[in-house]
Amino acid sequence: MVDTLGVAVVGFGWMGRVHTQAYARVRHHYPQLPLVPELVTVAEEVPGRAEEAAAQFGFASTTRDWREVVADPRVKAVSITAPNFLHREIGVAMAEAGKHIWIEKPVGLTAEDARAVAEAVAQAGVQGTVGFNYRNAPAVEAARELISSGEIGAVTHVRIRLFSDYAAHPEGALTWRYERERGGSGVLGDLASHGADLARHLLGDITSLTADTAIFLPERARPTGATAGHSRASGGELGPVENEDYVGCLLRFASGARGVLEACRVSVGEQNNYGFEVHGTKGAVFWDFRRMNELGISRGTTYQDQAVTTVYVGPGHGEFAAFQPGAANAMGYDDLKVIEAYRFLRSVAEGTPHGATLMDAVHSAAALDAMARSARSGTWAPVDGPA
């Protein structure tokens, strides 16, 4: 028997659209899912944007006030894709109202924010999924299995990179993303949060780190109207960029492994250059998001001059079989969010978490807080575990 689940989307920028499209597609790829998401309402404060979303995707109603979603008995689950500074307030309110939440990273501005949402979810007995989408790539899941099986030996070190040019243009508008009070820690929360999650997902807990940060474009023009995504503005009043464009970080893991995590949002010539290189005592594994469905693997007993083989992931890896029938048939970014939607809805249906949870967000946020502390002090900082 298939039941319907009333869902709402709060915040309809690019990510709100991606969540909505994932709801629309999820049962195309997972027909066995016992829940059919029903688009009940969309909340967006920018005039006209919610109405456009309803017309395109079929939401039954619209609102400019997310608080109306809290009080709506039709809504049983909510996607929270609003700006970072609203994550805590909205997340806690939705959980306390008994609504399951699928919330985008970094879940607030600090580990304290993420922890507050995690506690609200736990106390309410609802499910909470977090948007760490890169861990959903079948190649990443294959890499994790390879590492945990010991096929590359004991992990010695990892390098994780997240380079993008989305903020590289000097006319990029001074939106909430660049304000400390509303955007939090800049590229730390935006990109390094994914890196911290991947590091822990692949190698286990990070115990301490040392970090350096920088702002390379110190001023931007204030926008004169509503913005979406990474809009440009020129000729407006200049204001200061308050949070980080760049972070470079050395990591120590509980296993004894070492790592390097580097993220930058103003990297000219780099478009979504995200990936990792994990080295062990017997081999290595390499992944590049731009070649999302491939893994570079080195394993064996040669050690010196050991070859690297390219493997195309296929139906035996992760959730690949739900999308393509054979290896080297490409999957894309939006497919990762469909996987996330599936795991969220499965969590709701079964009452058991599947995929990234609020506690994963707390771990990631604790690493980001440690990066910020280390950058200020110039010393190594411990990464605090969840309380």
185 and 289, same domain (yes or no): yes
Instruction: Let me know if residue 386 belongs to a domain.
Output: no
List residues bridging with 265 in a β-sheet.
none
152 and 289, same domain (yes or no): yes
176 and 262, same domain (yes or no): yes
Rounded Cα distance between 9 and 20, Å, is: 7
State pLDDT tens for residues 125-143: 999 999 999 999 999 999 9
Instruction: Let me know if residue 208 belongs to a domain.
Output: yes
Instruction: Let me know if residue 387 belongs to a domain.
Output: no
230 and 171, same domain (yes or no): yes
Contact by Cβ (8 Å): 158, 204: no
The number of folded domains in the chain is: 2
Shortest CA distance to 10 belongs to which of 83, 71, 95, 119? 83
Rounded Cα distance between 288 and 272, Å, is: 9
25 and 144, same domain (yes or no): no
State pLDDT tens for residues 75-104: 999 999 999 999 999 999 999 999 999 999
For residue 108, give every residue at least 6 positions away whose Cβ sits within 8 Å of its Cβ, in sequence order, or none.
Answer: 84, 85, 87, 88, 91, 114, 116, 117, 184, 365
For residue 280, give every residue at least 6 positions away whose Cβ sits within 8 Å of its Cβ, in sequence order, or none.
Answer: 147, 152, 153, 154, 155, 156
* Among 76, 107, 133, residue at a domain's last position: 133
The residue range of the domain holding 369 is 135-329+357-381
**E strands, the chain, where?**
3-10, 35-43, 61-63, 77-80, 100-103, 128-130, 155-163, 206-214, 219-221, 238-240, 246-253, 258-264, 273-280, 283-288, 294-299, 309-312, 381-382
Contact by Cβ (8 Å): 276, 202: yes
State pLDDT tens for residues 157-179: 999 999 999 999 999 999 888 99
Instruction: Let me know if residue 148 belongs to a domain.
Output: yes
* Among 79, 102, 133, residue at a domain's last position: 133
Instruction: Let me know if residue 347 belongs to a domain.
Output: no
| pLDDT at residue 147 in the model | 98
238 and 279, same domain (yes or no): yes
Residue 229: pLDDT band (50, 70, 90) is low
Residue 225: pLDDT band (50, 70, 90) is low
State pLDDT tens for residues 329-375: 999 999 999 999 999 999 999 999 999 999 999 999 999 999 999 99
For residue 96, give every residue at least 6 positions away whose Cβ sits within 8 Å of its Cβ, in sequence order, or none.
Answer: 120, 123, 124
pLDDT exceeds cutoff 80 at 386 = no
Range scoring the smallest mean pLDDT among 200-209, 215-224, 290-299, 316-325: 215-224
144 and 38, same domain (yes or no): no
| pLDDT at residue 345 in the model | 98
Q: pTM for the complete prediction?
A: 0.94
Instruction: Let me know if residue 375 belongs to a domain.
Output: yes
pLDDT exceeds cutoff 60 at 287 = yes
CATH number at 165 reads 3.30.360.10
For residue 131, give every residue at least 6 positions away whose Cβ sits within 8 Å of its Cβ, in sequence order, or none.
Answer: 15, 102, 103, 104, 105, 337, 340, 356
pLDDT exceeds cutoff 70 at 26 = yes
- What is the percentage of the chain residues whose pLDDT exceeds 90? 91
CATH number at 92 reads 3.40.50.720
| pLDDT at residue 226 in the model | 57
Instruction: Let me know if residue 272 belongs to a domain.
Output: yes
15 and 102, same domain (yes or no): yes
127 and 166, same domain (yes or no): no
313 and 243, same domain (yes or no): yes
* Among 133, 155, 188, residue at a domain's last position: 133
128 and 146, same domain (yes or no): no
Instruction: Let me know if residue 116 belongs to a domain.
Output: yes
110 and 33, same domain (yes or no): yes
